[in-house]
Amino acid sequence: MTEAPAPAVERVTGAFFARDVAVVAEHLLGAVLCTTSDDGVSGGRIIEVEAYRRTDSCCHSFRGRTPRNAAMFAAPGTVYVYLVYGMHHCVNFACDREGQGDAVLVRALAPMNGVALMRARRGPTAAPDRLCGGPGNLCRALGIDRGIDGADVATSPRIALYEGARGADETVVRSARIGVVGAPGDVALPWRWRLVPAASRRPVR
DNA sequence: ATGGGGATCGTCT
DNA sequence: GACGATCCCCATC
């Protein structure tokens, strides 16, 4: 008997990240971010990202390399995880050339894999439509913390990205980044990208 | 050795 | 819409 051929799911390689951070950011939309732990696989399609460039005063690497942000200066595709407000983790991927200090922040996923596991990690109070919505929420859902900082997303057994098609009914919306502090010119940079249904004209936030 | 401040989120009014 | 939680990092003394 014949089985339908499994869809080719290509893992995103390090070369993908060796480009300008803004290019990488937009191209990450639609890719699938997954983590694997003893509890199983969980993840979803990337639907919101932001770019951070070393030369921009909102960027963690703006004032140079520190123990906290060292992963931003590592090879393209290196995972950078930091703790904000003492309680939420955020996940990024280093981009462009090694030592550049540029990174893409992943801000939201559309849940795909391991939804029950993600719900368990988020707890009963998590709003169903915000399971992976927001950088802190998605890290909680996928079990991402500082323990994975410095991993290579192209080869790590714990975190991976897979190429994902962008639907014809989806469109990319660009805007200023959320919650950033810095020089007014940097705060205003349109370095946030979202994947939204084409029909939707609804402003978000 | 110390103090200020976050690339957030949920709860409360 | 405002605010408090919470803690590590980093700059400064």
Nucleotide nearest to A63 (CA to C1'): C10
Provide CB contacts within 8 A for A180, sequence distance 6+. A58, A186, A187
**pLDDT for the residue numbered A2:** 57
- The answer to whether A116 CB is within 7 Å of strand C is no
| Tens-place pLDDT, residues A119-140 | 999 999 999 999 999 999 999 9
Percent of chain A with pLDDT strictly greater than 70: 93
Single pTM value for the model: 0.93
Length A2 CA → C4 C1' (Å): 59
- The answer to whether A130 CB is within 7 Å of strand B is yes
Length A195 CA → B11 C1' (Å): 29
**pLDDT for the residue numbered A168:** 85
Structural tokens at position A203: 């402003």
Length A136 CA → B5 C1' (Å): 18
**pLDDT for the residue numbered A4:** 64
**Phi and psi, residue A115, nearest 5°:** -60, -40
Q: Is pLDDT of A145 > 90?
A: yes
DSSP A156-198: -SSEEEE--PPPTTEEEEEEPPSS--S-HHHHT---EEEEEET
**Positions of chain B reached by protein Cβ under 7 A:** 5-11
Report the mean per-residue pLDDT for chain A.
Answer: 93
Distance in angstroms (rounded) separating the CA atoms of residues A175 and A192: 5
Chain centroid, CA A116 distance in Å: 21
Nucleotide nearest to A88 (CA to C1'): B8
Provide CB contacts within 8 A for A70, sequence distance 6+. A150
Q: Using CB atoms within 10 A of its CB, is residue A5 exposed (0-12), middle (13-18) or buried (19+)?
A: exposed
- The answer to whether A86 CB is within 7 Å of strand C is yes
Q: Is pLDDT of A204 > 80?
A: no
Nucleotide nearest to A102 (CA to C1'): B7
